[in-house]
A and B are shown apart, each in its own frame.
Chain A
Amino acid sequence: MKLHLLCLLFLLSGSITVVAQQRVAGNVTGTDGEPLIGVAVLETGTTNGTITDIDGNYVLNVSDEAASLTFSYTGYARQVVEIGAQTTLNVVLEAGVALDEVVVTALGIERDKKALAYSVTEVEGENFSQARAMNVIQSLSGKVAGVNVASTATGPGGATRVVIRGNSSISGNNQPLYVVDGVPIDNTNLGSAGMWGGQDWGDGISSLNPDDIESYTVLKGNSAAALYGFRASNGVILITTKSGKKRQGIGVEFSSQVRAESIVNHVDFQEEYGHGRDGAAPTTQAEALANGLYAWGARLDGSSVMQFDGQSRPYSAVGDNLDRFYETGVTYSNTLALTGGNENYNFRFSGSALNNDDVTPNAGLDRYTFSMKTNARFSDKLSGSAGVTYINEQVDNRPRLSDSPGNANYTAWSLPPSINIEDLRGPTDKLGANEDGTELQFNDNAFVTNPWWGAYQFDADSRKNRMIGNIQLRYDIFGGFYTRGRISVDRYNFRRTNITPYGTAYSAFGQMDERSTNFQELNTEVILGYDKDVTESIGLNIFVGGNQLRNKRETLGIEGDNFSVPFLHTIKNLANQRSIYEFKEFQTNSIFSSAEIAINRAIYLTATGRQDWFSTLTNIDNTSDNDKFYYSVGASAVLSDIINLPSQVDYAKVRVSYGEVGGVGAAEEPYLLGLNYVIHGQGHGGNPLGGITTDPNSIPNATLTPLTSQEFEVGLDFVLFQNRLGADFAFYNRQTIDDILNAKVSSTSGYAEKVVNIGKMENIGVELLLYGTPVKTADFRWDVSVNYAQNNNEVVSLLTAEDDGESIRVEESRTQNAYIEHIEGLPYSQIMGYLYDRDDAGNIVLDDDGLPVRGELVALGTGVHPTSIGISNTLSYKNLSLSFLIDSKSGGYIYGATNAYAYFRGLHQNTLVGRESGIGNVSAENVEDYYQRVAFNITEEFVQKADFIKLRELVLSYNIPKSKLGNLPFESVSLGLAGRNLALLSSSVDNIDPESTYTAGNGQGLEMFGVPQTRSFQFNLGIKF
């Protein structure tokens, strides 16, 4: 509250009047002739001043010495006018900085940007459509300070991890709430890969069409998002879709993109020794099969050597198998939009098609989106809007990741340098198959799948039909009172098919699973509000409201194994079939209110409150504590309107706020309060089977509550030098308390995890946005924008309140010697691994066989980057513009399991050492023992700093001038060329991309055999009729 008083003092000092000797009066208007209300009029160089009234008039008594008056108004260029002998000064202010902009805030309420006591960043939708990523939200990477986008290596339609201001929940959801035109949309990851493999089945945000999006508004902190209550703790991204505009006739907009994509290959494996073991090449087919994954053979000499298929081929390096295997991905996206409207209504309809062939052979995505949005004013008092979006998305062959079964990537990365991946295609048209149609094995481990078989014979398809809709009515009752009602729905059906084909080495008769999930969330919201300037200097904006959220997810499916008819992959052909049924439903009832007081349109005080009642925390007797209260308070002061700042300052605002909100976790997980027993399987010998549920396999807790996040934020915005330089600075301190932990417990307790309500975590950080226009001439303009964010995270306490070094394990690598743990006193997501055992002098301790001994299990660094920097430059000359974005993250680490396997198999460059001479006691033939000991025992060897700098985007665009279009029936035509992930400018990670990770979940910092990162080039065409 101290700051509030300070602001008031500023205000008071501004209105203290010195002895007046001259009276000046006048009227202030904009260039459109409309009066400007609340313009600050100051006797230059003094604190003597006033503001204009509702008609733009002012009267000011000035001293004799007064030479000039300074007129300043947010969003307009400041003007200094000589007084001379005049007593009437009428001034026209020119719109300058677009600072008087209105922004969409929580619950879709529009507010003056200068009124906000917290950081809000808006990004124009155009920024997401020029250099596209398959998942629209990946384009946010590097563009907003404090917003961290992890690019997962999971193929088309995979999920993306977006985290704002650091991870605030230790093991719960850390991703923001997405709200599209007021509809909270589901962003559940429908399945991701883990230690034992699997596919990424995508999330909710990825299916939006970038061409329909007008803008993104990022509500970063608790205060900004407070009205979302239990869903606010990770921030909120509000997405506003495009609306029609008043125009003559019907406008037609067509935009088209073609994008070509290829893998970014950082692999640099050894090419001197071929397949084999013990320094020798295989001599029999059986031996070649047994050594199919090992490059511990003899020095490549071009001689004829036996391979897995009984053929002898030259024993020489075959070149890059990754480049051979992955293809050039091609994506076409086309959107046609019709818009129109008059004073009372407008509409926009769009249809869009996206067709993709992925870099992974035989994988791709097709998405069709139809969207309709109308706004209408029925009378002076009644207005409304309705919107509906239908999305149909089909993904073919989502690639398997991480562990080997069915994972084509695994094998593509793993072949010895003397084996050509083309030779694994097999003798027939059926890729990866033997003559009899079964899998052609190239090694003796049935679980390491032939990559062609994995890519072409395995199947992991999904279809999603989604509808997002909302209807809203607003009635202006009288004198500033209004009421608004809104119903919004997000519903989809997600159907997935996952086939392990007949003839697969590890599953000779195959397996299949089909499941269909129906999801629906319905929100009903009513608001009663009051928005009016009650006096010339005091404005009020108050509302109260209620919301009910009902969320239901139901899955029905069949899975089974053993296809009776060979190679006929349908459910009915399974000899063994099992049913799948899952059901979850919850409801949250809320009431909320918000109040904003504006004083002289320069000082704003705001407060919000929200009470949530959770069905998930309600026990059958309704005796449990099932509600939570959340609130925020804040103040902002537009200094440039209050005090006399140097004339170079166009605008300056300080803000301060505090918010206490919740996180989803327990609030959206029903049935966790008690132990649940379920019927397992279909019985045995006629006897039903039943027991404690294994999903989740966690110790239940009857007293769970949602986590609480408390955040204090201060910030400063300013614009200098006639809009040539601007900055937005924020500092925040966020504490998460009562976090819900799925703490790993000893498996000997009978459970894998325990649900507890105890964690505490801290995120303290700064965000800085600097933007400016260093060069501006009539034709040429150079805009630059730099955003910087530093977030210092610390896990404060876990299972007990004390900081005593406790840790919880959230993820494990397939190599079983690297883990992700959260550890008290250290940042989130520590990569835990084993060091070499070293003697006091620091030498690696060797055992009797001369092999390194495993040392301590220690934290080797966080998997989450604390620092991020984005630099974007736009150079425009007339209608031509070139922009590029450099994206950098630093301070985090990555455990490269791919490199560990590359050691184990003798692929890594480092494993060349000692092949001829041995290592210490280890003879040259047995040198593989040395590296294999290191591979899965010494984690530190494979943990590397994951800092990177990437040229993330490059966009060249040209708007053909109207004059050049001549008689053509176009309003405008634009052409563009764009590239994405064009260059990795700096990285210190061997063989893999520093951003490679196979999950969008909380276990960040583990990598293993994902789809390589891709680089893309795109051609854009936009036409308006």
Chain B
Amino acid sequence: MKFSKYILLIAALMIVHTSCDDGFDELNVNPTAGSEIDPNFQFTWVQLRTSGGRYENWRANLIYSSMMMQHLASTCSYWTGDKYTYNGSYSSSLFDRAYNEQVKDMQDLINTLETKEGSDPTMLGMAKIWRVVIFHRLTDLYGDVPYFQAGKGFLEAIDFPEYDAQQDIYMDMLNELEEGIGLLSSGTGFGGADLIYAGDVDKWTRFGYSLMLRLAMRLSQADESTAKSWVTKAVNGGVMESNDDIAFIQHESGPEGINRNGIGEVLDQANGFGDDCPRLSKTMVDWMLATGDPRLDIFGKTPKDGGGHNGLPNGLDETTIQDNPTGTSADSSFSYINPVIVTVASPMIFQTYAETQFLLAEAAKRGWASGSAEEYYNNGVRAGIQQWVIYDASLEVDDADVDTYLVANPFDDSFEQIGWQYWAATFLNEYETFANWRRTGYPTLTPVNYPGNVTGGQIPSRMVYAESEIGLNPNLDAALSRQGMTTDFSTQMTVPVWWDK
């Protein structure tokens, strides 16, 4: 019968319809993602992200910090850090990226390790120490920042974290370090997934105490007694012992951005990253020439135009450089950064043995640590000159050359001299250079007074939060008023952070 034939046709359509219906309930399971992650994978990820991308290394680390600190100088119109003008997105670049890329996964990993049964306490210890690495850099650069509630948008449904007072953050970070070190037990924690020490618990312990020393010394002006007691704890625990203990991540040239050194992604021209703007600052070149510092040829290359090292004065642009008192004005007449130390595969350093020794020298001078300030200083200088070999074997400096340098520049028992060496030892880790300079005031840097600067001709005392927080995070205002700041961010770079007294 004809009728039934057509019914069959319609039925055929229905069959097509229902046969597609398989797996409706399972369809919403993402086939390209998981609902949990191996803590090892996540820890490696967080470490790499802490080393940072090109974005914030370019802006906050290089353009602002390295230029304010007169390690580098530039006449390019957008390398404005040594002009003390305000660029909101440069200033907030670390703040913009760190919470998203570092803090979120860090908090998530620590939450997993704390709540999941059978988790390795050594992993938790290492994670807690690493969290301090992330946060102390943030608070040093930006003052009061979200800390206790940060990165918990999913974990605790906190969309608008409160800004915590830097003092509270420091107290907690010191406690966290102590607790984290205490959790390190036998075993290797993350093992090979730990890019810093491959799970070496002893090195992690020394790194933890070295960070404790750094944080404690940061409080030398703001809270002397706290500083002293934590210095004691750190020294008793045992800090870094040699350049073998340097905390760094070895980068790779690819295949992806995440594998590369963020500074290399700015400056490594051999690998296609073409920012040719910065030159060595005249401040650094002159200091190194005066002291016969073997690091000058590690940090720099002589000018393309020939001749010996020639530092570019800070605070000049392409117009004002024509009145350069040294007479030269072409970009190519100044010392370049040695490309060997700024490749995409270069290591990224978080803390060195040399810095630790300089902190100990200072602590010894203050009577907070036993031992000879001079011995710590000499150890620091030697390590600080020889540490660059981790960038490239060709940068090795033998002991005799260091001896010569030390004979020519003996310890004069001054904070200033320690400050200069700390400054030189933290080249490229400019966040740390900037923080230690603000605390100690050393080395003495002569500020520039570029037209249109927003600091009244002073080197800035901080970077400022993301402008996107204005009107978005209701907790911002409390933080601003607590620190004596306003929402006119372009004029706030002169406000010191809490420990900067």
Does A648 reach chain B (CB closer than 8 Å)?
A: no
Q: How far is the CB of A5 from chain B (nearest CB, A)?
A: 41
Measured between beta carbons, the chain B residues less than 8 angstroms from A687 are: 40-41, 44, 192-193, 195
Q: Which residue of A lies closest to B6 (CB)?
A: A475
- Contact segment of B171-179, B265-273, B358-366, B427-435: B265-273
> Which of A84-92, A603-611, A741-749 forms part of the interface with chain B?
A741-749
Question: Which A residues are CB-close (under 8 A) to B468?
Answer: 744, 747, 809, 812
Tell whether B398 is near chain A: CB-to-CB under 8 Å: no
Chain B: CB-nearest residue to A562: B272
Distance in angstroms between the alpha carbons of A508 and B467 in the assembled complex:
32
Q: Which residues of A contact B317 (CB under 8 A)?
A: 277, 290
Instruction: Please determine whether A680 and B258 come into contact, CB atoms closer than 8 angstroms.
Output: yes
Chain B residues with CB under 8 Å of A744's CB are 468, 472
Whole-angstrom distance between the Cβ of B484 and the nearest chain A Cβ: 18
Q: How far is the CB of B73 from chain A (nearest CB, A)?
A: 15
Write out the residue numbers on chain B whose beta carbons fall within 8 Å of the beta carbon of A379.
2
With A684-B258, A687-B44, A690-B45 as given contacts, are A750 and B150 in contact (CB-CB < 8 Å)?
yes
Which stretch of A41-49, A570-578, A961-969 is in the interface? A570-578
| Contact with B319, one of A287, A505, A622, A680 (Cβ below 8 angstroms) | A287
Bound-state Cα–Cα, A340 to B456, Å: 84
Q: In the complex, what's the smallest C-beta–C-beta distance from B148 to chain A, in angstroms? A: 11
Across the interface, A578 reaches (CB within 8 A) one of B14, B34, B256, namely B256
Shortest C-beta distance, A45 to chain B (Å), equals: 54
* A286 in contact with B331 (CB, 8 Å): yes
Give the chain A neighbours of B414 by CB distance below 8 A.
none
Q: Are A750 and B33 closer than 8 Å at their CB atoms? A: no
- Known contacts A507-B274, A671-B33, A678-B33; is A524 also within 8 Å of B258 by CB? no
Q: Which of these, B31, B76, B96, B108, contacts A692 with CB under 8 Å?
A: B108
Determine the residue in chain B with the shortest Cβ distance to A812: B468
Which of A180-188, A226-234, A580-588 is the contact stretch? A580-588
Q: Render A689-711 as a binary contact track against B, CB cut-off 8 A, 1 for contact.
A: 11111100101100000000000
Please tell me if B105 contacts chain A, counting CB pairs below 8 Å: yes
Which residues of B are found within 8 Å of A617, using beta-carbon distances?
28
Q: Are B75 and A746 in contact (CB under 8 A)?
A: no
Given known contacts A618-B27, A746-B472, A754-B159, is B32 in contact with A583 (CB within 8 Å)? yes
Q: How far is the CA of A886 from the CA of B113 in the complex (A)?
A: 66
Nearest-neighbour CB distance to chain A for B85, whole angstroms, equals 10
Contact of A616 among B28, B35, B253 (CB under 8 A): B28
**A289, CB-defined interface residue at 8 Å:** yes
The answer to whether B10 touches A485, judged by C-beta atoms less than 8 angstroms apart, is: yes
Q: Within the assembled complex, what's the spacing in Å between the Cα atoms of A926 and B319?
A: 13
Min CB distance B191 to A, Å, is 9
Given contacts A286-B329, A675-B154, contact A692 B105 (CB under 8 A): yes
Decide if B200 is an interface residue (CB 8 Å cutoff). no
Complex formed: what's the CA distance from A832 to B472 in Å? 12
| Residues in A neighbouring B31, C-beta threshold 8 A | 583
Write the nearest CB–CB distance from A294 to chain B, whole angstroms. Answer: 8
- Residues of B close to A291: CB separation below 8 A: 77, 318-319
Size class of the contact patch on chain B = 35 or more
Of the candidate stretches B17-25, B180-188, B348-356, the one touching chain A is B17-25
Let me know if B471 and A684 touch, CB within 8 A: no
Q: Find A748's partner among B78, B88, B157, B473 (CB 8 Å cutoff).
A: B473
Asked if B24 and A691 make an inter-chain contact with CB atoms under 8 angstroms apart, the answer reads: no
Q: A681-B258, A750-B107 are in contact. Are A287 and B28 (CB under 8 A)?
A: no
Contact B44 A688 (CB under 8 A): yes
User: Hey, which chain A residues are within 8 Å of B13, CB to CB?
Assistant: 473, 485-487, 524, 526
Q: Are the C-beta atoms of B9 and A473 separated by less than 8 Å? A: yes
- Known contacts A286-B331, A681-B259; is-contact A691 B46 (Cβ 8 Å): yes
User: Do the beta carbons of B99 and A748 come within 8 Å of each other?
Assistant: yes
Q: Is the CB of B41 within 8 A of A615?
A: no
Question: Judging by beta carbons under 8 Å apart, are A560 and B24 in contact?
Answer: no
Cα distance A589–B25 in the bound complex, in angstroms: 12
Question: Hey, which chain A residues are within 8 Å of B473, CB to CB?
Answer: 746, 748
Binding stretch for chain B, among A59-67, A450-458, A726-734, A849-857? A849-857
Tell me if A684 and B319 are in contact (CB < 8 A): no
Closest beta carbon of chain A to B230's beta carbon, Å: 26
- Chain A proximity of B295: nearest CB distance (Å): 28
B451: A residues at CB distance < 8 A: 926, 929
Is A816's CB within 8 Å of the partner chain B? yes
Given A581-B32, A618-B27, A929-B451, are A689 and B45 also a contact pair (CB < 8 Å)?
Answer: yes
A910 to B304 Cα, complex, angstroms: 43
Query: Looking across the interface, which residue of chain B has its beta carbon closest to that of A847?
Result: B491
Is A425 at the interface (CB under 8 A from chain B)? Answer: no
Chain B, 141-194, CB within 8 A of any chain A CB: 145-146, 150-154, 157-161, 192-193
Contact string, A746-777, partner B, CB cutoff 8 A, digits 1/0?
A: 11111110100000000000000000000000
What sequence of 0s and 1s flags, for each residue 450-478 of chain A, a beta carbon within 8 Å of any chain B beta carbon?
A: 00000000000000000000000101010
Which residues of the other chain, A, contact B42 by a CB distance below 8 angstroms? 677, 690-691
Taking the closest CB of chain A, its distance from the CB of B225, in whole angstroms, is 31
Shortest Cβ distance from residue A444 to the other chain B in the assembled complex, whole angstroms: 5
B36 interfacial by beta-carbon distance below 8 Å: yes
A278 at interface by CB-CB < 8 Å:
yes
Interface-central residue, B34, B95, B329, by most chain A CB under 10 Å: B34
Q: Which of B6, B76, B105, B269 contacts A691 (CB 8 A)?
A: B105
Contact of A103 with B by CB under 8 A: no
Q: Is A674 an interface residue (CB 8 A)?
A: yes
- A510 CB-CB contact with B under 8 Å: yes
- Interchain CB contact (< 8 A) of A682 among B2, B36, B256, B470: B256
Distance in Å: Cβ of A358 to nearest Cβ of chain B: 30
Output the least CB separation between A587 and chain B (Å).
Answer: 6
Within 8 Å CB of B467, what residues of A? 816-817
Is B160 a contact of A749 with CB atoms below 8 Å?
yes
User: Which residues of B have CB within 8 Å of A847?
Assistant: 491
Interface of chain A residues 822 through 867 with chain B (CB within 8 A): 832, 847, 849, 853-854, 857
| CB contact list, A346-397 vs B, under 8 A | 379, 381-382
| Bound complex: CA A988 to CA B25 (Å) | 55
**Cα(A847)–Cα(B455), bound, Å:** 13
Interface residue from A506, A524, A583, A674 paired with B35 (Cβ < 8 Å)? A674
Contact string against B for A residues 813-825, beta-carbon threshold 8 Å, 1 for contact and 0 otherwise: 0001100000000
Q: Which A residues between 639 and 685 are near B, CB-CB below 8 angstroms?
A: 670-671, 673-682, 684-685
Q: Which residue of B lies closest to A690 (CB)?
A: B41
Contact residues in A for B27 (Cβ distance below 8 Å):
585-587, 615, 618, 670
User: How does the 8 Å CB contact mask read for B194-220 relative to A, with 1 for contact and 0 for none?
Assistant: 010000000000000000000000000
Contact between B154 and A622, CB atoms less than 8 A apart: no
Is there contact, CB below 8 Å, between A618 and B24? yes
A381 to B273, CA, bound (A): 72
Instruction: Name which residue of chain A comes closest to B153, CB basis.
Output: A749
Within 8 A of A (CB), among B91-136: 95-96, 99-100, 103-105, 107-108
Task: Please determine whether A692 and B472 come into contact, CB atoms closer than 8 angstroms.
Answer: no
Complex CA–CA separation, A507 to B274 (angstroms): 6
A682 engages B255 (CB within 8 Å): yes
Q: Are B158 and A749 in contact (CB under 8 A)?
A: yes
- Given known pairs A616-B28, A619-B28, A688-B41, the reply for A754 and B153 (CB within 8 Å) is yes
Closest 3 CB pairs of A and B: A750-B104, A509-B272, A690-B41
Known: A290-B75, A444-B277, A749-B152. 10 other contacts (CB 8 A): A287-B318, A444-B78, A473-B10, A485-B13, A576-B253, A578-B256, A583-B32, A685-B195, A689-B45, A857-B471
Q: List 7 A-B contacts (CB under 8 A).
A: A485-B13, A583-B31, A587-B24, A616-B28, A681-B258, A748-B473, A750-B153
Spell out A's residues near B (CB within 8 Å).
277-278, 280, 282-284, 286-287, 289-291, 379, 381-382, 444-446, 473, 475, 477, 483, 485-487, 505-510, 522, 524, 526, 546, 548, 550, 560-562, 575-578, 581-583, 585-587, 589, 613, 615-620, 622, 670-671, 673-682, 684-694, 697, 699-700, 743-752, 754, 807, 809, 812, 816-817, 832, 847, 849, 853-854, 857, 926, 929, 932, 937
